[in-house]
Structure 1
Amino acid sequence: MDGSDVSGSPLPKTFLDFLSQNGLSPSLYAASSQSIPRYVRLKPGFESHIGDIEDEIGCNLVEVPWLPNFYHLPPEIRIASTKAYREGKIYGIDAASGAAVLALNVSHGDHVLDLCAAPGAKLCMVADLLEGSGSLTGVDIARHRLAATRNILNKYALGDRCRLFVADGTKFSLIPLRASSSSNSSRGDASETYKEWEARRRAWKERKLLAKTQNKCTEAEIREDPEVIFYGPRSGMVGRSKASVYRVVDEHQISDMGYDKVLVDAECTHDGSIKHIRKFEQWGWTTLPQRVLEARRSDELSALQLNLLTNGFRLLKAGGSLVYSTCSLSAAQNEDVVERFMSRNPSAGKT
């Protein structure tokens, strides 16, 4: 196979051409999976437990200076079986994901929307930063992944002010439940109100069937109204009528009552993830062009990314902030998407 040797493994010529077209060096992928550190975030309030955590895992937690509460560990360290992980003191999250949340500049009292919320690590970090204030709305089109997000929020006791919706992020239109919001225009039966959330455990066979048949919901499978699969006791849902939650609002109302911050960490080809690219050593390099480089896939993704970005911006309160991020290094999925968006939305400011 044509390629360039990177850490003993050849990158295919098609991928080298892709890197060249995007002004990227193959040396970015020289690191082996065994040399890439593992990142964890320490839940605020547990700083005094660092020594105990280090004793348990048998190595030092090395602080990441530019990411508050982030530490890196040797890649061979497994945290899932540790007491600190089971008790919700630490959770795994990539530094790049942490950087996207940090850029959001979450402030006390913000109402935040994560439009591509699964698998949930960024949502947890946002919840931490809100410090029991404001609200957090997570949306994802993949039901099983959002269910895992719900489990993570509950595990780390971070779901108090959160609500989760299975929905198409390009069409999601529910605004945050601010204390002063009204329901002059609404849908549904106003007599139906939300009570305290109770976990509804499905039979094992049903859950197994869902895992097979609902790996990823298509647009046709998403009901007209977003489906709520979790809400915390202080998310604003309890005691609300379904009509007030699903009320129709116009653009003027969104400008006044929309989200303070929106995160659009969009689906992408993951070519910027060294760990992901190195997996092709096992999967076979011949499969990389179809999974990562195929023009049709790239075009479909860039269209999806633009639609997610556009809808996220539409749901922003006037003066709010949006962060758009991907784990791709291609201009087509980053700069080009942003430029197309800016050309259609001149009122948006870029930083």
Structure 2
Amino acid sequence: MDLSQACIPGEENKASVLPLPDSFLEFLKENDLNSSIYTGLDTIPRYIRLKPGYESQLKEIETELDCKLEKVDWLPGFFSIPPQIQIARTNAYRSGKIYGMDAASGAAVMALNVTCGDHVLDLCAAPGAKLCMLADLLGNSGTITGVDVAHHRLAACRTMLQKYEIGDRCRLFVADGTTFSFVPARSHTDVKISGAPDLKNEEDTFKEWTSKRTWKDRKDATKRKTATNDLTSLECSEPELIFYGRYSGVVGMSRNNLFHTVDAVESSTSGYDKVLVDAECTHDGSVKHIQKFDYWGWPTFQRRVLDAKRTQNLTTLQLALLTNGFRLLKVGGSLVYSTCSLTVSQNEAVVEQFLSRNPKAELMKVDSAKMWRCRSGGILQTVRFDPKTSQTSGLFIAKFRKIAA
């Protein structure tokens, strides 16, 4: 199965190919990927998303960036700019009017088809661009739960939510996405969850969120870290709530109810309406990621991307994340699985394994993909973006629906 062939006609990109080491070329060959995919990476545009409500300020933003914002006609709210343009020091970025996000990543969010009132789970939320886009799409309805295993990366998500003033309906958990097991609160008051003991102690009820933790919270966090015997570990042994908005369903809820874990039966009726699993991967399809190794050194790339043991561990992790995300989905809900890898082993192979083990999972067509600059994946109804075809970073998308037994 040759996954390098584009389905969209057009001129060949004549820019030079990024110098790739022989080990990476061999990696591409083993995965049936044509190195021409990486032709002209330095000409692929940068993408930004405009925060809703700032459409009237496009001219001002163009003046500040000193470039034309080209509207991405197949993805609402997205614009392309020349790849050399930096946005981090601009007022538009600092004031929360724009943020950087690849168009392919935006497509993964759009594939979820978030609607009014949805309760959404972003199971691998860091670094936060997709989380922010989901929050924008929800507006003044529903809730969104962000999960990531790395505390510092999820703290960056929290900063983004506050910067863009879209955190009112969000809650963030530092947790292992393969075992995370909390369902959304479906009202803004404390609701009794089946199987959770009743607890009315005022001290155990969540008040308005504050960045200042109580002495008890700090003590409990220290205990959790000590239990791992590694105070510098990024992985937490127990879920930790590091942020919640006033309308996320947490305020007024008891700790006992919030941290009540659920089984597959309960999550089928009380779970999330939409789940995004943008899984950890080798990032071999990410334009910006690949380019960094020209500076970091290709031996680092060899260690982080090409190591066979790491790749095998990643596919196991990806399947576990997809399986747990689907477990937390309510019947009738939909899940999007995505990676920024171009390899079959991290995409189609994971999907095939998942489908073989989950009879309640139905692979769905991504309706909006007919408008996208993408191509079909190796499995019917899956979608692929790559630099050559789409002028974006590489991305794989598969969408599932949970059906009744």
- Normalised by the length of structure 2, the TM-score is 0.78
Gapped regions of structure 2 (runs ≥ 5): 1-14, 219-224, 365-405
Partner residue, 1:150: 158
Q: Do the aligned partners of residues 294 and 114 (structure 1) sit closer, same or farther apart at CA in structure 2, a change above 3 Å counting?
A: same
Q: Residues 127 and 153 of structure 2 are in contact (CA less than 8 Å); yes or no, is this contact kept in structure 1? A: yes
1:324 has 2:337 as partner:
yes
* Partner secondary structure for residue 350 of structure 1: strand
Partner residue, 1:350: 363
* Partner secondary structure for residue 331 of structure 1: coil
| In structure 1, C-alpha distance between the alignment counterparts of 2:328 and 2:121, rounded to whole Å | 9
Name the aligned partner's letter for residue 196 of structure 1: E
| In structure 1, C-alpha distance between the alignment counterparts of 2:357 and 2:279, rounded to whole Å | 19
- Please state how far the C-alpha of 1:275 moved relative to its aligned partner: 2.2
| In structure 1, C-alpha distance between the alignment counterparts of 2:277 and 2:101, rounded to whole Å | 17
| In structure 1, C-alpha distance between the alignment counterparts of 2:169 and 2:121, rounded to whole Å | 12
Give CA deviations for 1:50-77 in whole Å, capped at 9, x if unaligned. 1111122111111111111000111222
1:238 has 2:247 as partner:
no
Partner residue, 2:234: 217
| In structure 1, C-alpha distance between the alignment counterparts of 2:213 and 2:194, rounded to whole Å | 35
1:184 has 2:201 as partner:
no
| In structure 2, C-alpha distance between the alignment counterparts of 1:104 and 1:317, rounded to whole Å | 14
Give CA deviations for 1:269-309 in whole Å, capped at 9, x if unaligned. 10011222222222333343322122111110000000000
| In structure 1, C-alpha distance between the alignment counterparts of 2:153 and 2:301, rounded to whole Å | 24
Q: Do the aligned partners of residues 8 and 163 (structure 1) sit closer, same or farther apart at CA in structure 2, a change above 3 Å counting?
A: closer
Any residues of structure 2 matched to 1:198-347 within 5 Å, and which?
198-200=210-212, 217-218=234-235, 222-224=236-238, 226-347=239-360
- Please state how far the C-alpha of 1:190 moved relative to its aligned partner: 4.1
Q: Residues 109 and 130 of structure 1 are in contact (CA less than 8 Å); yes or no, is this contact kept in structure 2? A: yes
| In structure 2, C-alpha distance between the alignment counterparts of 1:147 and 1:287, rounded to whole Å | 26
Name the aligned partner's letter for residue 177 of structure 2: G
Q: Do the aligned partners of residues 9 and 123 (structure 1) sit closer, same or farther apart at CA in structure 2, a change above 3 Å counting?
A: closer
* Partner secondary structure for residue 254 of structure 1: helix
1:97 aligned residue (69, 93, 105): 105
Name the aligned partner's letter for residue 247 of structure 2: R
- Normalised by the length of structure 1, the TM-score is 0.89
Partner residue, 1:60: 68
Q: Residues 173 and 240 of structure 2 are in contact (CA less than 8 Å); yes or no, is this contact kept in structure 1? A: yes
Q: Residues 268 and 301 of structure 1 are in contact (CA less than 8 Å); yes or no, is this contact kept in structure 2? A: yes
| In structure 2, C-alpha distance between the alignment counterparts of 1:71 and 1:187, rounded to whole Å | 50
- Please state how far the C-alpha of 1:166 moved relative to its aligned partner: 0.4
Q: Do the aligned partners of residues 102 and 8 (structure 1) sit closer, same or farther apart at CA in structure 2, a change above 3 Å counting?
A: closer
Partner residue, 1:10: 19
Name the aligned partner's letter for residue 122 of structure 2: D
Name the aligned partner's letter for residue 298 of structure 2: W
| In structure 1, C-alpha distance between the alignment counterparts of 2:213 and 2:98, rounded to whole Å | 26
1:77 has 2:96 as partner:
no
2:149 aligned residue (118, 128, 141): 141
* Partner secondary structure for residue 361 of structure 2: coil
| In structure 2, C-alpha distance between the alignment counterparts of 1:160 and 1:95, rounded to whole Å | 25
Q: Do the aligned partners of residues 32 and 143 (structure 1) sit closer, same or farther apart at CA in structure 2, a change above 3 Å counting?
A: same
Give CA deviations for 1:6-60 in whole Å, capped at 9, x if unaligned. 9365322222222223332111112244x23221111111111111111221111
- Please state how far the C-alpha of 1:187 moved relative to its aligned partner: 6.0
| In structure 2, C-alpha distance between the alignment counterparts of 1:277 and 1:215, rounded to whole Å | 28
Name the aligned partner's letter for residue 120 of structure 1: G
| In structure 1, C-alpha distance between the alignment counterparts of 2:258 and 2:17, rounded to whole Å | 56
Aligned pair count reads: 333
C-alpha RMSD of the superposition? 2.2
- Please state how far the C-alpha of 1:104 moved relative to its aligned partner: 1.0
- Please state how far the C-alpha of 1:350 moved relative to its aligned partner: 0.7
Partner residue, 2:374: none
Q: Residues 47 and 103 of structure 2 are in contact (CA less than 8 Å); yes or no, is this contact kept in structure 1? A: yes
Q: Do the aligned partners of residues 25 and 56 (structure 1) sit closer, same or farther apart at CA in structure 2, a change above 3 Å counting?
A: same
Q: Residues 17 and 40 of structure 2 are in contact (CA less than 8 Å); yes or no, is this contact kept in structure 1? A: no
Q: Residues 187 and 247 of structure 1 are in contact (CA less than 8 Å); yes or no, is this contact kept in structure 2? A: no
Query: Which has the larger displacement, 9-18 or 229-238?
Result: 9-18
Name the aligned partner's letter for residue 140 of structure 1: D
Q: Do the aligned partners of residues 183 and 55 (structure 1) sit closer, same or farther apart at CA in structure 2, a change above 3 Å counting?
A: same
Query: Which has the larger displacement, 94-103 or 275-284?
Result: 275-284
- Please state how far the C-alpha of 1:188 moved relative to its aligned partner: 8.8
* Partner secondary structure for residue 228 of structure 1: strand
Partner residue, 1:3: none
Partner residue, 1:123: 131
| In structure 2, C-alpha distance between the alignment counterparts of 1:123 and 1:215, rounded to whole Å | 26
1:40 has 2:57 as partner:
no
Give CA deviations for 1:114-164 in whole Å, capped at 9, x if unaligned. 000011100000001111110000000000010110000000001010000
Q: Residues 143 and 170 of structure 2 are in contact (CA less than 8 Å); yes or no, is this contact kept in structure 1? A: yes
| In structure 2, C-alpha distance between the alignment counterparts of 1:66 and 1:265, rounded to whole Å | 21
Q: Do the aligned partners of residues 89 and 317 (structure 1) sit closer, same or farther apart at CA in structure 2, a change above 3 Å counting?
A: same
Partner residue, 1:21: 30
Moved over 6 A (4+): none
Q: Residues 167 and 244 of structure 2 are in contact (CA less than 8 Å); yes or no, is this contact kept in structure 1? A: yes
